Amino acid sequence: MEELMTIDRAEVRGFVVVHVRGEVDALTVDRLGDAVTTALGGGRPVVIDLTDVRFLDSAGLATLVRVTQESEDRGEPLRIAVDENRPVVRPIEITGLEGVLALYDSVDDATAAPA
């Protein structure tokens, strides 16, 4: 059976990068939220890498908004790498969330700017 979503963590230029692959939907979104919340608790800026996500639904969008708010409340920077990945970018654009989420074209771009 194929796993719907996998999550890996790495450190890049002092950022914790949470790399997500697969589908972010109602079945997997709790794992994403938990992984990001744990990363935010480490006191370092966090990047969510969605460049290998092939599906993002409303539950995933709601989680991205929630963890963004959580990062702001904690005063910990959170950036989201999306590149031109249409399954991710299109729902963000349709809902107008590009003005709410800190979006970057790549993990390199997200980690290049000072936190």
* 13-30 tens-digit pLDDT: 999 999 999 999 999 999
Model pLDDT, residue 24: 96
The confidence band for 2, taking pLDDT boundaries of 50, 70 and 90, is low
Residues 22 and 3: beta-carbon distance below 8 Å: yes
Encoded tokens for 104: 């970057």
Model pLDDT, residue 1: 41
Q: pLDDT digit string (tens) for 51-106?
A: 999 999 999 999 999 999 999 999 999 999 999 889 999 999 999 999 999 999 99
d(CA 19, CA 94): 23
Residue 63 identity: T
* Pairing relationship of beta strands 15-24 and 5-12 according to DSSP bridges: antiparallel
Q: Is the pLDDT of residue 112 over 80?
A: yes
